[in-house]
Amino acid sequence: MRHIGVLTGGGDSPGMNPCIRAVVRQAIGYGMAVTGIRRGYAGLVENDMQPLDARSVGGIIQQGGTILKSQRFPEFDRPEAQRQALRNLNQRGVEGLAVIGGNGTMKGALALERQGFPVVGIPATIDNDVYGTDIAAGVDTALNTILLAADRIRDTASSHQRAFLIEVMGRASGYLALYGGLAAGAELILIPEQELGLEEIAQDVERAYVRGKAFVIIIVAEGAKLKAQEVADYLEAQNIGYEVRISILGHIQRGGCASAFDRILATRLGTAAARLLHQGEHGKLVGLVGNQVRATDLEEATSRPKPLDMEVYALARAMAI
Amino acid sequence: MRHIGVLTGGGDSPGMNPCIRAVVRQAIGYGMAVTGIRRGYAGLVENDMQPLDARSVGGIIQQGGTILKSQRFPEFDRPEAQRQALRNLNQRGVEGLAVIGGNGTMKGALALERQGFPVVGIPATIDNDVYGTDIAAGVDTALNTILLAADRIRDTASSHQRAFLIEVMGRASGYLALYGGLAAGAELILIPEQELGLEEIAQDVERAYVRGKAFVIIIVAEGAKLKAQEVADYLEAQNIGYEVRISILGHIQRGGCASAFDRILATRLGTAAARLLHQGEHGKLVGLVGNQVRATDLEEATSRPKPLDMEVYALARAMAI
Amino acid sequence: MRHIGVLTGGGDSPGMNPCIRAVVRQAIGYGMAVTGIRRGYAGLVENDMQPLDARSVGGIIQQGGTILKSQRFPEFDRPEAQRQALRNLNQRGVEGLAVIGGNGTMKGALALERQGFPVVGIPATIDNDVYGTDIAAGVDTALNTILLAADRIRDTASSHQRAFLIEVMGRASGYLALYGGLAAGAELILIPEQELGLEEIAQDVERAYVRGKAFVIIIVAEGAKLKAQEVADYLEAQNIGYEVRISILGHIQRGGCASAFDRILATRLGTAAARLLHQGEHGKLVGLVGNQVRATDLEEATSRPKPLDMEVYALARAMAI
Amino acid sequence: MRHIGVLTGGGDSPGMNPCIRAVVRQAIGYGMAVTGIRRGYAGLVENDMQPLDARSVGGIIQQGGTILKSQRFPEFDRPEAQRQALRNLNQRGVEGLAVIGGNGTMKGALALERQGFPVVGIPATIDNDVYGTDIAAGVDTALNTILLAADRIRDTASSHQRAFLIEVMGRASGYLALYGGLAAGAELILIPEQELGLEEIAQDVERAYVRGKAFVIIIVAEGAKLKAQEVADYLEAQNIGYEVRISILGHIQRGGCASAFDRILATRLGTAAARLLHQGEHGKLVGLVGNQVRATDLEEATSRPKPLDMEVYALARAMAI
């Protein structure tokens, strides 16, 4: 292969720029040319592309977001859109594609592969919803951003004897809430994978109060069955002894300069993707399994759910005493 | 005076702990004893107090929140509560009080002074709503926290071509929104002191789009007439070309380790308060005016509104081109 | 005036980019064209310039360093170099210059003004060595960077019962050491403006040990008479009870994203400079005096030393009990 | 086992406090009592101990350093010291010990185990020199601190066209330099495990200059054969086109609030150690292998060197184009 393309799709993640940099520089190291596709699949269909060289990706390793931009583009489901994309790629002489993003973006990658175009996927999303990698690029940075916020809220909670509900991202997965909650020393963690009832929650908060805790932090995943407001209203009505407050972290979780872990992970995955394409291997997703980079079939990666390690949930419970 | 008390009232601010430290150490330097009152006016009435020495305030200069805790306590309006407070102070031999907090807390301080008990007020609140000081301790840290969030959101906004509304604290005052917006390079700033209509806002956003801006940041004060959601709905309906998103920063603005500016300001104000009490001067608020520490009568400080410098608003507009 | 230039000189400071942005956008607001001169006076002489518009300075408010680059260029002392600079400016139709930097850079600005070319100076340096402003753009960010380091060192110092000497920048001025030391809660501060003897220092450290302090932080200005190593060797030899360690902060103090204070200050000063040039006023330095922006004659600003407020030194001593 | 002890030894690491918290809370969850030994092996011999309960370790997960303090204590090599330690432990009824630290501390742990006292080791050191774990608690935080500094230095380097040598910790191991250099996007990395000559280095820097790089970052491990100063002098003499500067990061690398990764790792390792002791298993070190917690014999862990993955070195070289 002498010429590859690279794109970022779906919601942005702090791991995307170090990924792009790694794909580009490794590909150039192999003597391949690289074309950057802007705005994800939208740019692929609308022919919004530009050549990238080693200098184009200088100084981006510590920039949040994605220099290639990203855009949701549900129209890419349609075969006409995919055909247009292939036509644009062929006209420019692009022979393979590194696709960077989350679960939805990988589905688009699989569609192209099925159309006969060689693709390798790289998981970079804060949602950590991609099967085939223990962790996606960007998750570690998002966890650290959650701590930045939670540590600040703890100052305030502890000064006012409060129970604080902090809502973090994660519609389908409780990953950020679970690991963020463990790292923040949260009393309780509410995630889609493990339902708790209002009474159970109130009992836990009451036990914390009786044990003498100055404050209580509850981390709530966006996708948890009970919403933060609902829990807050119930707790307030129980008059446990803590004032109740809510904080919704929102989009700050996606931004920021990538952590050391994410820069290294993104570099390992990005170079692995360039290597596979160079060797003519494709239809794969590169991921971190244990501490090794492994390739998984895109078919498998996009069809299997990514389970949450419930031992970590038990661990968080054990620490909240 | 040989023995003073110190308390923190109202919402917490990152300037409170360095203030407490300064009051305590300066007072000890003058040979005075110091009693810490816990939970603001509630602790004053409920006799929740403890002696403080130089070591009690070691290592707190970089801690957010307040080691003395704080609590809203509207009951302190009642003369019986105030009498109980005086009785508790007299029984412990406390002869004067340094009161740390915002506008509401200063009103309580004035009530005690009127009852004949010597009080000096120290402005420490992120709301910057206290007359008699250019800036209260904690405001600078809150502005930096707002930037921490806004810079992260900018990463995401710029990757997705978005208009982002960021709601910051400030029910009565647009201070945080105005200065935070200026520092964040916001396109627009919505504050209670300056009303804008929906159409005007949409025109501004449209102009930014036409000028080629990759994204737009709008900072909205909690107390602005138009709420963030309302503006977002309107902008979304105009189809300007940006996706519209909202982020409500909330309580993270109160926490965090105090900035250099706030530690220095809090130290200057706290020591000035101890000096005044030591010299038998009271019924005053110490504040920063220009770069000098000045005392203002508590009567005046609690009765005059703190105006916003609208030249800064014009400056922010001039920068948003 | 219809066309101005802007340059940054001397050591870089985090306040430079927000300054450039403010000069450019305010000038454009007045209808003036703006030329950016690269690499300070070197670029002026070597004709390394480019037009700047409102978009050229987008997204730089939070970038450390200077997009115009900077370079020491002692050759600018020579009249031939100055004449060449004037010739280059005239050929491009540049009618006035905003010069951003520290004390050395202001001397070059004065030289141009004396040659008859209209110049306004803007103090942006972490050294805070410019007369005519209470504080230069970049100083606040540098102080916060010093705290970031000092707070980390405190963790280690407190775990190991250590006396830590932290050397900060400041060859001619003890400003960063003094204010950084006050904010860090340092036991001792060694600055050029106030000499202490080795015995005196050792006695202070011994007193801290006897009072039960878990650790001691000593901030040393680069330009202090006693060097960090010298003090460390002496303290080590006294066997006071603390292990002694040194940390030299170095260049990290110049970098980083500007603080809220610095972005606001730089914006105020930069716009004021553009306004003066627009109005045909020049030969001035714009500075912050109290909380007002004031203009000082460049002659005066470059000929008078900037004194350090020794009351702050006394304050730091009073807090170290 | 009904009663265990916990201590931290050697240089401090940001992973220590979350480790202590996890050991204590998990042990209490199993119904065991916990005694904290202060100042490492020194406190063990000098009987400096105190009971710990669940509240004693509240709010420490985000504190740098170690609440139990640490101290180098080479005297622990002597059998008399070890016997005194055992006597102190027996008198308090302590039946097992969780030992937190680096390679040197694990050697002390093995000595106690050989004397017949049950010990489990937990690797927490920024040096990452412990065999039996992919990564020790604290390393991830140290890497992020290195980036905090390197990103700031990059601002300055890029404004002045400089080659910057940044010296990071690591006397025996190049781990921090290698992974820190990869994450910082360094041009060159000098480590004990891979020698480069001065000429080779200068050629690399020259190539970077010719390729048009605005600046060059070189990360140097403390233990590299060529010292930073030596390399700087050589490069300066070659007149390549970059100014040359050095920054020695020093002790700031040990401090700071633990990252999400380190808090989670420390919690997993600490609870695993408590579980092993509870089950009567000992003479082990708990470590992270892949993404599983595994126990290794202390004999093996202390006798085998921890190799560096030189593929990562090749990766860093490939990225520096």
Q: What is the CATH number of the domain that holds A294?
A: 3.40.50.450
Q: Both D251 and D264 in a single domain?
A: no
The candidate with the shortest Cα–Cα distance to C288, out of C315, C274, C309, C267, is C267
Q: Both C268 and C134 in a single domain?
A: yes
Domain that holds residue D162: 139-255
* Predicted local confidence at residue A36, as pLDDT: 98
Contacts of A251 in chain B (CB under 8 A): 152-153, 156, 164, 245, 247
* Predicted local confidence at residue C187, as pLDDT: 96
User: 3-state class of C286 per DSSP?
Assistant: strand
CB contact under 8 A, A143 and D260: yes
Q: Is residue A313 part of a domain?
A: no
Select the residue of A69, A145, A153 nearest B251 (Cβ to Cβ).
A153
Average pLDDT, chain C: 96
Instruction: Give the phi and the psi of residue A38 in degrees, each rounded to 5.
Output: -90, 150
Q: Is residue D74 part of a domain?
A: yes
Residue D196 has, within 13 A of its CA and on its CB side, a CA count of 23
Q: Both D58 and D69 in a single domain?
A: yes
Q: Both A150 and A133 in a single domain?
A: no
Instruction: Give the phi and the psi of residue A217 in degrees, each rounded to 5.
Output: -110, 130
Low-confidence ranges of chain B (pLDDT < 50): none
In chain A, the number of structural domains is 2
Task: Please tell me the distance from the alpha carbon of residue C313 to that of residue C224, in angstroms, as a whole number.
Answer: 14
- Taking the CA of residue D30 and the nearest CA in chain A, the distance in Å comes to 10
Give the active site residues of D.
Answer: 127
Contacts of A278 in chain D (CB under 8 A): none
Task: Please tell me the distance from the alpha carbon of residue D205 to that of residue D215, in angstroms, as a whole number.
Answer: 9
Q: Both D132 and D110 in a single domain?
A: yes
Q: Of the residues B254, B272, B293, which one is the last residue of a structural domain?
A: B254
* Predicted local confidence at residue B190, as pLDDT: 98
Residue type, A166: I
A127 is catalytic: yes
Q: What's the mean pLDDT in D158-168?
A: 95
Q: What's the mean pLDDT in C259-273?
A: 98
Question: CB contact, 8 Å: B248 with chain A?
Answer: yes
Task: Please tell me the distance from the alpha carbon of residue A183 to that of residue A202, in angstroms, as a whole number.
Answer: 22
The token pair that represents A201 in the structure block: 């929650």
Q: Is residue C317 part of a domain?
A: no
Q: Both A144 and A229 in a single domain?
A: yes
Contacts of C154 in chain B (CB under 8 A): 59, 62
Catalytic residue among A48, A127, A129, A140: A127
* Predicted local confidence at residue C152, as pLDDT: 94
Q: Which H or E element spans position D103?
A: helix D103-114
Question: Do A94 and A44 meet the contact criterion of CB atoms below 8 Å apart?
Answer: no
* Predicted local confidence at residue B275, as pLDDT: 98
Select the residue of B145, B156, B251 nearest A245 (Cβ to Cβ).
B251
Q: Is residue B318 part of a domain?
A: no
Contacts of A321 in chain D (CB under 8 A): 25, 28-29, 54
Catalytic residue among B12, B48, B127, B129: B127
The candidate with the shortest Cα–Cα distance to A274, out of A25, A12, A17, is A25
* Predicted local confidence at residue B222, as pLDDT: 96
* Predicted local confidence at residue B233, as pLDDT: 97
Residues A113-144: tens digit of each pLDDT: 999 999 999 999 999 999 999 999 999 999 99
Inter-CA distances, B33 with B6, B29, B68, C313, Å: 11, 10, 17, 24
Task: Please tell me the distance from the alpha carbon of residue B184 to that of residue D29, in angstroms, as a whole number.
Answer: 47
* Predicted local confidence at residue B76, as pLDDT: 97
Query: What is the percent of chain D where pLDDT is above 70?
Result: 100
Q: Is residue B309 part of a domain?
A: no
Residues B71-126: tens digit of each pLDDT: 989 999 999 999 999 999 999 999 999 999 999 999 999 999 999 999 999 999 99
* Predicted local confidence at residue D254, as pLDDT: 94
Contacts of A134 in chain D (CB under 8 A): 291
Task: Please tell me the distance from the alpha carbon of residue B80 to that of residue D90, in angstroms, as a whole number.
Answer: 59
* Predicted local confidence at residue B1, as pLDDT: 92
Instruction: Give the phi and the psi of residue B64 in degrees, each rounded to 5.
Output: -70, 175
Q: Of the residues D197, D228, D255, which one is the last residue of a structural domain?
A: D255
Q: Both D247 and D286 in a single domain?
A: no
Inter-CA distances, C60 with A61, B18, C67, C271, D212, Å: 17, 33, 8, 16, 22
Q: Both B24 and B82 in a single domain?
A: yes
Helix (DSSP H) and strand (DSSP E) numbers for chain A:
11, 11
* Predicted local confidence at residue C84, as pLDDT: 97
Q: Please report all neighbours of B, defined by 3+ CB atom pairs within 8 A.
A: A, C
Interface test with C, best of D246, D251, D253 (most C CBs within 10 A): D251
Task: Please tell me the distance from the alpha carbon of residue B298 to that of residue B288, in angstroms, as a whole number.
Answer: 15
Q: Both D21 and D159 in a single domain?
A: no
- The ipTM is 0.96
Q: Both C108 and C248 in a single domain?
A: no
Question: Buried b vs exposed e over A87-101: b needs ≥16 C-beta within 10 Å?
Answer: ebbeebebbbbbbbb
Interface of C with B in 5-44 (CB under 8 A): 21-22, 25-26, 28-29
The residue in chain C having the minimum alpha-carbon distance to the alpha carbon of residue B179 is: C264
Q: Is residue D308 part of a domain?
A: no
- Taking the CA of residue B75 and the nearest CA in chain C, the distance in Å comes to 35
What's the CATH code of the domain at B158?
Answer: 3.40.50.460
User: 3-state class of A194 per DSSP?
Assistant: strand
Instruction: Give the phi and the psi of residue C66 in degrees, each rounded to 5.
Output: -140, 125
pLDDT-based confidence at D156, cuts 50/70/90? very high
Place of tokens 């302590």: D94
Q: Both B118 and B18 in a single domain?
A: yes
Strand-strand pairing, A119-123 and A284-289: parallel
Q: Both A21 and A131 in a single domain?
A: yes
Interface of B with A in 133-172 (CB under 8 A): 145, 148-149, 151-156, 158-161, 164
Q: Please report all neighbours of C, defined by 3+ CB atom pairs within 8 A.
A: B, D
Q: At what angle do helices A139-160 and B139-160 cross, to 10 degrees?
A: 150
Q: What string of DSSP letters covers D189-237?
A: EEBTTB---HHHHHHHHHHHHHHT-S-EEEEEETT-SS-HHHHHHHHHH
Select the residue of D179, D257, D318 nearest A26 (Cβ to Cβ).
D318
The residue in chain D having the minimum alpha-carbon distance to the alpha carbon of residue C247 is: D250
pLDDT-based confidence at C225, cuts 50/70/90? very high
Q: Is residue A315 part of a domain?
A: no
Residue B11 has, within 13 A of its CA and on its CB side, a CA count of 22
Q: Is residue C12 part of a domain?
A: yes
pTM for this one? Answer: 0.97
The token pair that represents C74 in the structure block: 């002692």
Q: What's the mean pLDDT in C155-172?
A: 94
The token pair that represents D319 in the structure block: 């990225």
CB contact under 8 A, A185 and D61: yes
Starting at the earlier edge strand, list the strands of the sheet with B292-297. B49-52, B33-37, B3-8, B96-101, B119-123, B284-289, B292-297
Interface of D with A in 277-316 (CB under 8 A): 289-292, 315
Inter-CA distances, C218 with B31, B269, C186, C201, C231, Å: 26, 24, 6, 10, 10
Residue type, D293: V
Query: What is the percent of chain A where pLDDT is above 90?
Result: 97
Residues D211-253: tens digit of each pLDDT: 999 999 999 999 999 999 999 999 999 999 999 999 999 999 9
Q: Is the dihedral of CA D91, D94, D97, D98 positive or negative?
A: negative
pLDDT-based confidence at D104, cuts 50/70/90? very high
